[in-house]
Amino acid sequence: MSTLQQQDPEIFNLIKQEELRQRDKIRLIASENYVSKAVMEATGSVLTNKYSEGYPGKRYYEGQQYIDQVESLAIQRAKDLFGAEHVNVQPYSGSPANLAVYLAFLNPGDTILGMALPHGGHLTHGAKVSISGKYFTAESYSLDQESGRLNYETIREKALACKPKILIAGHSAYSQVLDFPKFREIADACGALLLVDMAHFAGLVAGGAHPSPVPYADIITTTTHKSLRGPRGAMILCKQEYAAAIDKAVFPGLQGGPHNNTTAAIAVALKEASTEAFKQYAAQIVKNAQALAATLIDNGFNLVTGGTENHLMLIDLTNKGVTGKVAAKALDAAGIVLNYNAVPYDTRKPFDPSGIRLGSAAVTSRGFKEEQMVQVGKWIGAVVADPANTALQAEIASSVRQLCAGFPAPGLEHLI
């Protein structure tokens, strides 16, 4: 980045500092990952110069000879990878993708039913602070207070009572596999469309480490980063009968021209996700998460749902006598990066909640295996037990750097 260094040294230096942070710290934020150098190169390509309102073969600007091929490749690769009938690769991110589904099938005031935000849902599944909760009648289902898991009979009762037009299955902080056949039955019973938001576990689905929602859902939204290990973008997969409505909702309903550089990077990531190596990666994500979960449980941590079947886990720290925010900041100082998070039935405020959320996708991209995850779990236990001990944090941060040096991060090989 010599040109950037000369032209804007301030931004150049900040990027370089961020590179070192990503190299030297253990990144456990469940929504983050490392992309390959190929994905980064596509993201930073000349495709960012081109404007392309419309869809392949039906554009409003000329000069689309190569852009159409790029987008068509991304679409076909997504269809092949997930077995989808129709795919739109233009949404800028997961939130606009969900909003496009609502625009396609709802009128203001119509009812949606999704997982409550404090129980592991997403802002766009009907949270009152989100447009999804302001423009629509948003109902929610919660986790069982004793088991910390979904009760599908309770969801069915709620759905029959409120008659949503869209039933949402998906999460941002639920560590168990969703029962897509049961969600399909519930949607049919109340006459709703079934929307699955697989943003968090799309990479696990692609790699065969998680059941696929494609046979059951009417529409599926997903980001293309997180466990799928692509750029910051999104896709909508749907049955062919909903294709026209979805495409019209994305453009011209919500967006103008797509980000062609992102579309190309999505295509690259989808090609990578179709390999045998990616299948092994997806399986290791789950193994690593379960090894970390077991270590944390052995160290007295209270995991919501009692464990994990995917890449993430949510921990209620109430029994540790420390808040999620205090723990997250102490762990960051120790070189372990995660986020504080509300837990089901939390009595604390969202900006200073009782829990932390962590995931295994990024460290698995570095090559961590179960052995390393056990060590990470022990470090987390030590820091949370004494969150004010800055000397301990510095000592662990040094050990973290040494461990990370043996597992180069994808895309950052030039820093070795």
Q: What domains, with CATH codes, occur in the chain? A: 41-273 (3.40.640.10), 277-415 (3.90.1150.10)
Give me the pLDDT at residue 415, please.
Answer: 78
Q: Is 125 annotated as a binding residue?
A: no
Q: Is 156 a catalytic residue?
A: no
281 is an active site residue: no
126 assigned to a ligand binding site: no
Q: 16, 19, 50, 51: which is the annotated catalytic residue?
A: 51
pLDDT digits (tens, 9 = 90+) for 118-132: 899 999 999 999 999
Provide φ and ψ at 296, rounded to 5°: -65, -40
Establish whether 223 is a catalytic residue.
yes
Q: Is 218 a catalytic residue?
A: no
63 is in an annotated binding site: no
pLDDT at 350: 87
- Ligand-binding annotation for 203, yes or no, is no
Rounded Cα–Cα distance for residues 354 and 323 (Å): 5
Active-site residue (options: 53, 346, 370, 395) = 53
Q: What is the pLDDT of residue 74?
A: 98
Which of 51-58's residues contact partners 24+ apart within 8 Å by CB, and which partners? 51/257, 52/257, 52/258, 52/260, 53/251, 53/252, 53/256, 53/257, 54/251, 55/90, 55/247, 55/251
pLDDT score, position 300: 97
Can 51 be counted among the known catalytic residues?
A: yes
- For residue 300 the two structure tokens come to 């007295």
Q: Give the active site residue among 232, 287, 348, 369.
A: 232
- pLDDT at 416 (0 to 100): 63
221, 223, 224, 323: the active-site residue: 223
C-alpha torsion 80→83→87→89, nearest 10: -50
Is residue 386 annotated as part of the catalytic site, yes or no? no
Q: Tally Cβ neighbours within 10 Å of residue 412.
A: 16
Segments of the chain with pLDDT less than 50: none
Q: What is the DSSP string of 274-335?
A: TSHHHHHHHHHHHHHHHHHHHHHHHTT-EEGGGS-SSSEEEEE-GGGT--HHHHHHHHHHTT
Is the Cβ–Cβ distance between 33 and 201 less than 8 Å? no
Q: Output the pLDDT for position 414.
A: 81
